[in-house]
Amino acid sequence: MVLDIVEYPDKRLRKKSQEVKNFDLDLHRLLDDMYETMMQESGIGLAAIQVAEPIRALIINLPDEEGNQDRENLLEMINPVITHKEGEVFYQEGCLSVPTFYEDIKRFEKVNVNFQDRFGNTKTIEADELLAIAIQHEMDHLDGILFIDKLSYARRKKFEKEYKKYQREKKNKQKKSA
Ligand code: QAP
Ligand code: CO
């Protein structure tokens, strides 16, 4: 089932997500619905809080070299913890909860992460390049942090202005279809 995505400035995005303790059918259903929702909206990463579930779960599905987004490459991370971080990189990030806005954000170049899979099995991953960036972006959501929080004052102003335009246009569209 495709779920609604919570969009900025909705306060729910600021909630700290809680540890997952039950690796049950409800969790599996949520992860499956998150995947459907992410594909529908052409995303590469999604945290549970973005579909209004404040639990420490996220999914990432990066395109391969040919640009195909294969479900076999789907990464599901429950209760992730960064155990090592190094280097720095800039990447132009976007977010399904902040549609149409993209800006360069500084991240660690490499991260090691401990997490659990949907069955509660403990895993560890060494990530770099786009995967490292995606993990940091999605893990920020678990603590109520958005990529726009990392902008300088001037760029944040530019964002607020551009985003108002997006919100205005969205409202107009809704009026027309009503
Ligand atoms: C997070 O972002 C991310 O504005 C995932 O109109 C960001 O899937 C991971 C999207 C940067 C790695 C690097 C954004 C779709 C999707 C939009 C997304 C939009 C439609 C963003
Ligand atoms: Co996001």
Q: What are the domain boundaries of the chain?
A: 11-151
Beta strands in the chain (DSSP E): 45-47, 57-60, 75-86, 89-93, 103-107, 110-116, 122-128
Catalytic annotation present for 93: no
pLDDT (tens digit per residue) in 61-120: 999 999 999 999 999 999 999 999 999 999 999 999 999 999 999 999 999 999 999 999
Q: Which residues line ligand 1 (CB under 6 A)?
A: 41-45, 91, 93-96, 99-100, 130, 133-134, 137
55: its two tokens: 């639990």
Total-model pTM: 0.98
92 by DSSP, 3-state: which?
A: strand
Residue among 49, 93, 102 whose CB has most ligand 1 atoms within 8 A, to mutate:
93
Domain over 11-151 is classified CATH 3.30.1490.110: no
Q: Which ligand is closest in space to the CA of residue 60?
A: 1
Give me the amino acid identity at 30: L
